[in-house]
Structure 1
């Protein structure tokens, strides 16, 4: 019974499995391979003869073959017995770059298989699974979305057998909202059971959903793999070494979220202050009410742009990606490139 599995540890001591360190220890470990296999079959809906029976964990770093290449580190990467490559990524925070990051990882992983003299027909099917603790598709009610390559008009898949590209997005917030409304039936849905396991602890809110725990308690009596996962989870949460590493990683993630919030707040404040100052000056010059109104509007716009550029400067100095900076500030990638060139030029001048 699950009560025995958790008899040594309070629920509040359990790690949040959505934190990448804990997730990788649970699902990316050789000793827990059987749990990984069950979890993947649930996500990919593999049943019968189509099930994944064995996985081999692969090295997680690739890229960086040349000096200026971007190097990538995947959360979990496995190869199945039928020669499919599967990358699983867990994202606690929304970095606003999921789509491009996903395609970049998939492309790197797909092309990295090709060695000199190797034919293209030997490239393996590559699957990417993204488990996100935030909304990815606001217009969709589905919490599990799967993408392939389709023709635009007929919607026919480019490849039926051995699809080169298969991408999954699982949105945990949508899943939990539907579970709370009672529209899901975890007893009949294996994936729902495993997602409840991921959703039971919320480290950001410092909360444990006991209602989820009680349902998992009943489910574990009928699902030995779920019970095994609870035992692993408990052992992980009792390991002092793992707890220290987990807490360090969680702190880093929360600190990065706070920095991002500070950046957004700073942009709003700077834009408002500069906008008011310039707006009043221009409004005074143009005179009367119309001048004030027009001046405020124009001043706010200019002030916001200046504030955005200052923030872009700060982020560039911290080596943030141009695409990420563009999403945060709203500046065009071309303008950010110009700012970057200016920073490089200033640095060169100082060195001289």
Structure 2
């Protein structure tokens, strides 16, 4: 009996891209998208092409950032798949940027040599994608951070694990076919309540469970999941990536980078909190001084030194 391979966390970017972005295993990504979005029958998508994610580069700040995956379906629709493990300012606007950029990228010229012409001096014909041919674009963002119960970064936060946001016309419902061209779906991993593998009822639940718990799956749980052909293929691919020394090295480097980034964010938040508390104490001390309270009493009430209070006079 061979030793069981410790599985890597799919949520880490280098694993996520390799796991879902393998062209020879596109049925894994198809299964994930169809399950999470609840697409059935004729609505199910088939991936025709993996697009270059570098076209979706964000240059607002350095270093540049790219989307994790971008694909085109057989019906011509576009799907952007993004994994985000920490919150950051403007997360909602970043999703809108991706949607808009992918949509407008389609308006471009394509040059080709006319088939009927054998004369190399003939001018190349010019073909442009028509406005009516612009494809639907759907961004699927998987997030692994806590959102507030109300509104966070402009994104309304409801109780569902999977939330889809559509752009709807304010006045006439007859224009919904236009506004339906852009959609954004958020898969909130933090909202998913873990349960035993044998209690998972749908492919959507299984996929979210694997995303949340891949490193902790026991051997018997893996074998149970592998009874389904698609999850057998998925777990075997993850085992292959997890056993690859190069992938493991990149994985560990990515985790260290993420920890460093989170440490910087937490330090900045602590500093902001500390400065906010200090400003609050100074405001209270200023008020108490105006009311004529002795410096020693103000010091006890605010925690400020006598010198700091005297400087407010």
**TM-score where L is the length of structure 2:** 0.75
Q: Which has the higher helix share?
A: 1
174, 183, 205: which is aligned to 1:192? 205
Matches within 5 A, 1:25-44: 25-44=18-37
Residues 47 and 71, structure 2, Cα contact 8 Å, conserved in 1 = no
Q: Tell whether 2:258 aligns with 1:241.
A: no
Q: Tell whether 2:54 aligns with 1:61.
A: yes
Cα distance in 2 for partners of 1:21, 1:55 equals: 23
Alignment length (residue pairs): 275
Residues 148 and 157, structure 1, Cα contact 8 Å, conserved in 2 = no
Deviations 1:276-300, CA, capped at 9 Å, x for gaps? 356546644652179959x96xxxx
SS for the counterpart of 1:31 is: helix
Deviations 1:285-319, CA, capped at 9 Å, x for gaps? 652179959x96xxxxxxxxxxxxxxxxxxxxxxx
Residues 28 and 76, structure 1, Cα contact 8 Å, conserved in 2 = yes
Aligned to 1:141: 159
Aligned to 2:84: 91
Cα distance in 2 for partners of 1:164, 1:70 equals: 30
Cα distance in 1 for partners of 2:181, 2:212 equals: 31
Q: Point out where structure 2 has 5 or more consecutive residues left out of the alignment.
A: 110-127, 150-156, 303-313
Superposed CA RMSD: 3.5
Q: Tell whether 2:163 aligns with 1:150.
A: no
Deviations 1:111-153, CA, capped at 9 Å, x for gaps? 1111155421121111100111124473522101112222347
- The answer to which structure, 1 or 2, has the higher relative contact order (CA under 8 A, 6+ apart) is 2
Residues 110 and 123, structure 1, Cα contact 8 Å, conserved in 2 = yes
Deviations 1:219-250, CA, capped at 9 Å, x for gaps? 321x1110111111111011111111111111
Matches within 5 A, 1:1-352: 7-10=2-5, 13-62=6-55, 72-116=65-109, 117-136=128-147, 138=149, 140-152=158-170, 156=173, 158-160=175-177, 163-175=180-192, 177=193, 179-180=194-195, 186-187=200-201, 189-201=202-214, 208=216, 210=218, 214-221=220-227, 223-276=228-281, 279-280=284-285, 283-284=288-289, 286-288=291-293, 292=298
**TM-score where L is the length of structure 1:** 0.68
SS for the counterpart of 1:93 is: coil
Residues 56 and 78, structure 1, Cα contact 8 Å, conserved in 2 = yes
- Which of structure 1's runs of 4+ aligned residues deviate more than 4 A? 63-72, 213-216, 289-293
Compute the displacement of 1:38 (Å): 1.6
Deviations 1:236-277, CA, capped at 9 Å, x for gaps? 011111111111111111211111111111112233345435
Cα distance in 2 for partners of 1:61, 1:77 equals: 10
Compute the displacement of 1:48 (Å): 2.2
Larger radius of gyration: 2
Cα distance in 1 for partners of 2:99, 2:289 equals: 56
Q: Point out where structure 1 has 5 or more consecutive residues left out of the alignment.
A: 203-207, 297-352
Residues 55 and 78, structure 1, Cα contact 8 Å, conserved in 2 = yes
Q: Provide closer, same or farther for how the CA distance between residues 286 and 159 of structure 1 changes in structure 2, counting only shifts above 3 A.
A: same
